[in-house]
Chain A
Amino acid sequence: MAGLLESLNARFPCRERQIDDLAALISQDDIPAPPVLVLYGTEATGKSTIAKAVLDEFEIPYAYVSCKECVTARHVFEKAYTSCDALITPSNGEDKGRQVRPDSVNALAGQLQKLIPNSGKIVLVLDAVDKQREMTPTMLSGLARIGEVIKNLTVIMIVTVSSTRLLNISEPPSVHFPAYNKEECVKILSLNPKSIFEVDEEDEYSEEMEEEDQWLWGQCCSAVWDIMGKYAARNLNALKDVVDELWPSLIQPIVDNEYGTRDFPKLFNRLKNEKLRNSEESYVSMQITRAPVNTAADATTSVPNRAHDLPYFSKYLLCAAYLASFNTARYDTRYFSKLAESTGKRKRVTKRKNTSRQLNRKHLGPRPFQLERMLAIFQAILPSSVLSSVDIGSQIATLSSLRLIRKVSNVASATDASSKWRVNVGYEYVKVVGRSVKFDLETHLEE
């Protein structure tokens, strides 16, 4: 027993308590296991991995269902049943006849009761059961009570947060997996450091090199945690992603023989200046198209991105839609009237408005407008008037299928003058679009 625990602890550092608890709850041969067991904790805290590892290590038969993989509740029941079935009567490829498809918790409990023999422990692990897509109010508590119906079945539920409300059981035995702190993260990541030099088959991977790798990797992990632990690399997986991403550029100077392996401060400063200064933002937003490590060379040679352009009038239509969404209809004459006197008036009013404590319209989100109003603004902001034709209508349709503008009312016809619309893109995008046709959005926008 102690030997098993030791090996588990060596494989999964910083989780001694959880492993102990789990082992105590389910691995005692003489004590019956609890009917339900809750493991909870945030993302990337080792819940599923440790549960599976402990069950494997103590050789307890278990069926594992990842609820994230399931589309509907019935899908979960089916998977739970078939995996238990496979566990108890391992099929040898022959047809088992008609398949059983429980379509409710009751049916599942009934079927499992028929299936599971009266002796021996069996565990059913329901991973991420709270992330199940088709959740009914009674489903979780129903699943939690299956273990009460069937004597030797234990249901392990893995969830993000635990509360008594969740399962409607007063106090189910539960194990908490807290998030790792910095030391723990670095320790775990240090289990498999990446190497600095490519190791060929012939070269000996010397102990010295291993030590260097270990040291540098640890330094790198903790430095990245210090910089980004608060936002981009909040959990172990995210931290690992970022470190993996940065590692090749960090060690490049060492490979090029510019720096030694112990010059970590210099190396990291260089990395910071090169990669992190401008693109720290991109690590936060986690862009998809950051080139993966192996194809980094290809990505740099690709042509810089040239934007695809919208047609000329579409740009004006989009500007008009933005203005219609963010200006109040009351002031339309002031902003779009082509009479000269309007400018004088505008100045006076804005002055008075500044004293009142109103939020900027921009921050309140777009409001719906009538199509006719947008068309009127469109005609007003165009440098030269254009007769409306089918082309304008089709451009409105295109903008709406690109979801740059969006219909909000349920009027049958999209081009009905009274249908309500709303702009669906932000200020920055529209500003760029306006600038490309030399239209100054700012002067027409309400303060």
Chain B
Amino acid sequence: MDTDSVLNDESGSLEHQACYIYTPTSEALSLSTPKKRRAASSSRTPRSKREKIDPKNCETVGGQGHGFPTLLRDLEDEDAVNARYEAFQRLWRDVERRTDDVLAQVNDETLQSVSTFVSKASQEIYGEKLPTGLILTGPNIAAHSVLFQQIETRIQSVDKRGRVAILTSKDSSNLKNVLKKIIRCVTEIHDGFDDEDDIVEAKTGRNPSRYNYDPEIIHDWCSTHPNTKVVVAVQDTEAFDPAVLVELISILHQYLPKIPFILLLGIATSEDIFYEKLPHSTIRLLRGDRFDVQRFEESMEQVFEEAVLSSRSVLKLGPRVSDVIFERQKDHTRSVSSFVMALKYAYMSHFYANALSVILGSVDSEESVDHILSDAHCEAIRNLPSFKPFVEAKVSTFPWRARDLLTSNKALKSAVYTASRECQRYSTNLAEAINLFRKLQSIVSPQQANEIPTYELYSRILWGEFTTRPAFRDAMLTTKKISSEKFHTLLSTLSDLPSELSSTLSTAAEKVQELQSEKAAKGSSLVSEFALPDSHRTTVKSGRVRLDEQKSRMTSQDTEYQKLVTSTVQQLETYFKDRFKPYTNLFLHEIFFYDLKSPHSQVFAAKPRPSVERALSRPGDYLGCACCGGNEEEAGISASQPYAAILYQLYLESPALIGVYDLWSAFRVVSLGDKAEDQEADEDDEEEKELQAQFYRALAELRYLGFVKYSKKKTDHLVKLAWKGL
């Protein structure tokens, strides 16, 4: 691929311009694919100081044609560029494979129950009713076709229960087309479907040929394929024409004695809306069951754990970028596939623009780190923000080590290796502790655990402020208060998880068990002071008296148990506090945690409308010239601005119905400035004529952009269509 000349032509002058006008040459036109342009822009966007990248330096490109630029002021050698590319490919492919596996599992439960439903459905159970499965798919449309494909493969290829015909709203134009599609899917006959009333010739001599929409074809087919069911699956029931759906159901029901039909309906919104849409007489023909697809939060959590938290994912998301990603998920998309896309983009832009990302590819052995890092890399590492505190910490204890780090590349390289091990250990410990905490939360206060999913905790934990949050303190306090049975289950579950506390926890669990059985012999259960019921007495004193009473009833086992609870909770708390330290303390965290916000927000949430509005109302922002009111205070209308911009600002001030003549006179005054007052409108004036032409051109541009249209109500008037800021 030799696409880079395009980039290079412009990039040289880019850094001084706020905006440039793209004038493609014929060669460039044929080469500039959208994908390419995006990649090019991402090289510009992460403009942080530490990476030392300059658009100027993206000049030559690695020889293998992968399109990765040479960074570090062109000092990066070709091997390093290639290594970066390879590391990206390898690491991402691994993550992708694991996420795909998780995603394949996500629908498994639903598939299982649908497949049992299909295999069980028979005339004995449902009688004259049409067996119907309602699949509540949720509002994420992109996932629906995947799910239905999976259902098809499951029933058709894995279970071999019958044939599946998937219908979408596109097929719902009329009943004939729907039936044709079903017949084609089921019988796999493809001739005779082109024309309106074509005839399908029978494959075997026994059956007569029929109209191409005649369900009897399926009946003929069924007679040669005993014990197969015909599943008709409607993927988007909401969008399916209700009239056609009613007809379809009645036809399927008519043929039910001859053909073992099963209907599957995918419902994205809610059952109630579905019931509202169909007449009761149709609903009476159906009978069946409902299947729920895993909710977004659950599948998202699984994917997050596998793709980000897992120790096999070397590159982690930083708190800022994960906030951006998950906010967008919550507010806009709610789809796992868009998260995977965002994650891939994070990998892409990290490896593309950060020269030091090459370290990620060779964390496993010291030699390869040593081998791949050049002098330029070392210099770049010394410029990392996390390098300074790292050295400063060394100065007080080992001053010679600090000097070595600053002067010797060899010392630095070995420090890099240790630091990368350290970073990895940090993330492994973090994942482990998060896992432990989630488990604890789900036992102690399940409701809270449901409210805040792991991926939302993640960024707070990375900032290191989670242990001061009420959510954390609540969890710890409630842990003290739970009953002894629950405490025991908690300890035994937590000790099953791999962590350094597991042995302590399991001994504590045994102890609790022991105390419990001792106490049970006396006929009561273990109580700690924390678990005493709250006093309902109003005065402080009476409450205290009661508390004392209850305390006095506590036995020796109880006291021992209470000590155990206190110490265990204390241990847990120290453990969490130790693990939930801010990631910024780590040396090299810039490399192991990708945390650039702007590329994501720019790439994934493009804002075409605000951009157009801004360009028209404040052209100076984009043109960057002195004449167009580039400075903030003076932003407003002026004659030096482009004509379309002038007209747009006049347009903003006008009412919903705009007289063209009014607009023209205002436009004339603005454009001509003081001159307009001196001279009366003169039709023949050359300047006037040209201005008028410009006016019409600007008006046509506004119309093209969809801001105005001609009014039918009043002659020579325009209707205002778009308001600013919506």
Q: Chain A residues near B719 (CB, 8 Å)? A: 418
* Docked pose: A267 CA to B296 CA in angstroms: 45
Q: Chain A residues near B293 (CB, 8 Å)? A: 308
Interface string of B227-260 (1 = CB under 8 A from A): 0000000001011000000010011001100000
Give, as a whole number of angstroms, the nearest-CB distance from B694 to chain A: 25
Which of A204-212, A271-279, A371-379 is found at the contact surface with chain B? A371-379
Q: Chain A residues near B608 (CB, 8 Å)? A: 390
* Docked pose: A389 CA to B199 CA in angstroms: 51
Contact B238 A289 (CB under 8 A): no
* Docked pose: A318 CA to B268 CA in angstroms: 15
Contact B721 A372 (CB under 8 A): yes
Give, as a whole number of angstroms, the nearest-CB distance from A96 to chain B: 8
Interface string of B140-168 (1 = CB under 8 A from A): 01000000000000000000000000000
Instruction: Answer whether A425 and B254 are a contact pair too, CB < 8 Å, given A99-B208, A387-B610.
Output: no
Q: Chain A residues near B250 (CB, 8 Å)? A: 68
Interface string of A402-428 (1 = CB under 8 A from B): 111000000000001110000001100
* Docked pose: A290 CA to B141 CA in angstroms: 27
* Docked pose: A392 CA to B722 CA in angstroms: 16
The answer to the question of A93 belonging to the interface, with a C-beta cut-off of 8 Å to chain B, is yes
Give, as a whole number of angstroms, the nearest-CB distance from B406 to chain A: 45
Contact B607 A387 (CB under 8 A): yes
* Docked pose: A288 CA to B269 CA in angstroms: 17
Q: Chain B residues near A394 (CB, 8 Å)? A: 332-333
Closest to B208 in A: A99
Interface string of B269-313 (1 = CB under 8 A from A): 111110110001001101111101101100000000000000000
Contact B211 A78 (CB under 8 A): yes
Give, as a whole number of angstroms, the nearest-CB distance from A420 to chain B: 13
Interface string of B202-220 (1 = CB under 8 A from A): 0001101111011100000
A-B CB pair tally, cutoff 8 Å: 166
Contact B607 A390 (CB under 8 A): yes
Closest to B601 in A: A389
Interface string of B117-145 (1 = CB under 8 A from A): 00010001110000010101111010000
* Docked pose: A306 CA to B138 CA in angstroms: 10
Contact B125 A241 (CB under 8 A): no
Contact B289 A309 (CB under 8 A): no
Closest to B330 in A: A312
Q: Kindly identify, within residues 250 to 292 of chain A, every residue whose CB is under 8 Å from any CB belonging to chain B.
A: 285-292
Closest to A103 in B: B197
* Docked pose: A429 CA to B275 CA in angstroms: 13
The answer to the question of B328 belonging to the interface, with a C-beta cut-off of 8 Å to chain A, is yes
The one of B132, B209, B328 in contact with A391, judged by C-beta atoms closer than 8 angstroms, is B328
Give, as a whole number of angstroms, the nearest-CB distance from B15 to chain A: 27
The answer to the question of A295 belonging to the interface, with a C-beta cut-off of 8 Å to chain B, is yes
The answer to the question of B709 belonging to the interface, with a C-beta cut-off of 8 Å to chain A, is yes
Give the one of A68, A74, A289, A309 with max B CB within 10 A. A289
Q: Chain B residues near A66 (CB, 8 Å)? A: 254
The answer to the question of B726 belonging to the interface, with a C-beta cut-off of 8 Å to chain A, is yes
The answer to the question of B334 belonging to the interface, with a C-beta cut-off of 8 Å to chain A, is yes
The answer to the question of A227 belonging to the interface, with a C-beta cut-off of 8 Å to chain B, is no
The answer to the question of B725 belonging to the interface, with a C-beta cut-off of 8 Å to chain A, is yes
Q: Kindly identify, within residues 221 to 263 of chain A, every residue whose CB is under 8 Å from any CB belonging to chain B.
A: 238, 241
Give, as a whole number of angstroms, the nearest-CB distance from B338 to chain A: 10
The answer to the question of B606 belonging to the interface, with a C-beta cut-off of 8 Å to chain A, is yes
The one of B236, B270, B280, B287 in contact with A285, judged by C-beta atoms closer than 8 angstroms, is B280
The answer to the question of B453 belonging to the interface, with a C-beta cut-off of 8 Å to chain A, is no
The one of B137, B141, B706 in contact with A417, judged by C-beta atoms closer than 8 angstroms, is B706
* Docked pose: A66 CA to B253 CA in angstroms: 13
Interface string of B699-726 (1 = CB under 8 A from A): 0000000100100000000010111011
Contact A241 B284 (CB under 8 A): yes
The one of A69, A72, A425 in contact with B215, judged by C-beta atoms closer than 8 angstroms, is A69
Contact B214 A285 (CB under 8 A): no
Contact B176 A391 (CB under 8 A): no
Instruction: Answer whether A391 and B179 are a contact pair too, CB < 8 Å, given A289-B290, A295-B125, A418-B709.
Output: no
Q: Give the top 5 A-B pairs by smallest Cβ distance, nearest first.
A: A308-B138, A391-B332, A375-B726, A389-B605, A403-B238
Q: Which residues of B contact A (CB under 8 A)?
A: 120, 124-126, 132, 134, 136-139, 141, 169, 175-176, 179, 197, 199, 205-206, 208-211, 213-215, 236, 238-239, 247, 250-251, 254-255, 268-273, 275-276, 280, 283-284, 286-290, 292-293, 295-296, 328, 330-334, 605-610, 706, 709, 719, 721-723, 725-726
* 21 residue pairs A–B, Cβ–Cβ below 8 Å: A69-B255, A71-B179, A71-B251, A74-B211, A75-B211, A78-B211, A133-B247, A288-B132, A288-B283, A308-B137, A308-B295, A309-B334, A311-B334, A314-B332, A372-B722, A376-B723, A379-B725, A390-B605, A401-B238, A402-B268, A404-B269
Q: Which residues of A contact B (CB under 8 A)?
A: 66, 68-69, 71-72, 74-75, 78, 82, 93, 95, 99, 101, 133, 238, 241, 285-295, 299, 303, 305-314, 372, 375-376, 378-379, 387-392, 394-395, 398, 401-404, 416-418, 425-426, 429
